[in-house]
Amino acid sequence: MATMATAAPPRIPGLHECLLLMEQYGMLSNIRRHSLVVARLAIQLLEGLCAMQPNNPQAAKELVLAGALLHDIAKTPCLHSRCDHAQVGAEICHKEGYPEVAAIVAQHVRLSPFATQRYEAGQFGAMELVHYADKRVRHHVVVSLDERLEYIIERYGNNNPERCQAIERHFQRCGRLEHLLFRWLPFAPEELGIF
């Protein structure tokens, strides 16, 4: 009788391993602080969803944590070059054997798969939680989407109208995500980060 092969569970790095990877890839201390705050917010979002919907499956806490901690793993080497830190970060995570984390890292800037129907049903994955949490943290301070947008345009817009419009479009999409997400949470967007 033939036995069916079962898929191996995903490999997700724990906190200690994430911190080692941050060190290994030379993550600057300010980027590390930013990542730690993003992780706290992403976990706060996940815990709020779980509290409000105990019977609705949510993202795995370990995956949310690892995705948030490693979302900027390539930010330091990309600071002085024109590389796409989300893409390079995803490549690093793949190389390290973490494809599920790589998918989160790849989408933390733009979030191209936008699943409105899933969000309307109160289902948000690690990718959405990390993406949104990242958009709410400027350096290591929790700010509104508008404040973060202003900073991103000033820092990365390069006085290029097309680039600035693209950034604004991404933030409009994140605003829609915020609206859908907070329909399922026991706190308001301005209360995020109050622990």
Q: Smallest Cα–Cα separation from 91: which of 29, 31, 83?
A: 83
pLDDT reported for residue 103: 97
Which token pair is 7?
């898929």
> How far apart are alpha carbons 62 and 58 in whole angstroms?
12
User: What CATH number should be reported for the domain whose range is 15-190?
Assistant: 1.10.3210
In this predicted model, what pLDDT tens digit does every residue of 36-85 receive, in sequence order?
999 999 999 999 999 999 998 899 999 999 999 999 999 999 988 889 99
pLDDT less than 50: residues of the chain: none
pLDDT reported for residue 4: 60
pLDDT reported for residue 2: 53
Output the pTM of the full model: 0.93
b/e sequence 77-94, b meaning 16+ C-beta within 10 Å? bbeeeeeebbebbbbbbe
Q: What SS3 state is found at 137?
A: strand
pLDDT reported for residue 59: 95
Helix axes 29-52, 126-135, angle to 10 degrees: 130
pLDDT reported for residue 158: 87
